[in-house]
Amino acid sequence: MNPSRDLCNRAVRDADLWFCGPTGLKDGILKGLKALDQTPRRVRFEHFEFA
């Protein structure tokens, strides 16, 4: 058991994640969190692309 890791796991579970960017960024962030077995309470994403 790792107390620091447990604290981080609880922090991510209780977090609201807000970010904006291209769809690939969103996909990468969510895939990375899933690989770490982390799921934020809520994810809000605003899509934008540079022209």
Distance set, CA 11 to CA 14, 16, 22, 42 (Å)? 5, 10, 26, 12
- Domain extent, residue 42, equals 3-47
pLDDT band at 28 (very low <50, low <70, confident <90, very high): very high
* Strand ranges (E), the chain: 16-21, 42-47
CA 18 to chain centre: 8
How many domains does the structure of the chain reveal?
1
pTM here? 0.66
Residue 50: its pLDDT value, please? 77
Contact of 44 with 20, CB cutoff 8 Å: no
18 Ramachandran zone, left/alpha/beta (phi>0; psi -120 to 50): beta
